[in-house]
Amino acid sequence: MVLPLPAKACSVAIVFAIDISRSVSPAEYIYQKNGLARALVSAEIQKLISFYPEGIMATVTVWSAASQQKQMVPWTLLQGRSSVIEFSREIADMRRPYRFDLTAIANALIHAGQMHVENQVRCDRLVIDISGDGVTSVIGQHPLSVAEGLAANGVIINALVIAGSAPDPVRYYAEQVIRGPGAFMIVADGFQDFEESMLRKLMRELAPAVALLDTGE
């Protein structure tokens, strides 16, 4: 992956990548998109965003099978309450583009990494914030080499994993997906726990001390 050249600086850029594979029901998709939208407009996250004078860049994509990824909300500068509220509204309004297909985590990571390349604003810290409830179901495909390649190019991959299915997605994401300096995973007990888990995840991702970590660039 070739990273973009500087345009103007921001502290952090986040790709929110939401799982919409066949294991995710219509109600569970709503839990994810509404949970993300509500977490972003919470008082805690609004305060953290305000700590960044340049704001943060964010976008949302959804993913399923190998050829099924779609950017749903464009790159947006979150700087001030009104921009966060509008971004959250766009997330809440997202209509699911794919249903009933496989889980291709490696392709989701490739797609999310390319979105960082296409971002016109150069940011110090590049994050892929991927959520999912299952392991890769595409035969012969594993995300580890993709994740390690992204990490080598300065991208941090964090995860929000919905526990409960078999094989265990928590162990799988820990071993195959999360990578990069300070990378971490938050585990939700179910989709009903998604909003609270996303809030905890964002509080950790956006903590000013985390933003100052050396990415190795």
Q: What is the mean pLDDT of residues 183-201?
A: 97
Which residue segment(s) compose the domain that 74 sits in? Answer: 9-211
Q: Is residue 138 part of a domain?
A: yes
We report the CATH number of the domain holding residue 189 as 3.40.50.410
Q: Is residue 132 part of a domain?
A: yes
The answer on pLDDT for 139 being more than 90 is no
pLDDT confidence band for 9 (50 / 70 / 90): confident
Closest CA to 28 of 141, 134, 110: 134
pLDDT at 58: 98
For residue 207, give the 3-state DSSP assignment. coil
Q: What crossing angle do the helices spanning 194-205 and 26-40 adopt, rounded to 10°? A: 40
Q: Is residue 37 part of a domain?
A: yes
pLDDT at 53: 87
Q: How far is CA 207 from the centre of its chain?
A: 16
Q: Is residue 217 part of a domain?
A: no
pTM score, whole prediction: 0.91
Provide the token pair at 70. 């779609």
CA–CA gap between residue 88 and residue 149 (Å, rounded): 31
**pLDDT tens figures, 43-91:** 999 999 999 988 999 999 999 999 999 999 999 999 999 999 999 999 9
Q: What is the mean pLDDT of residues 130-149?
A: 93
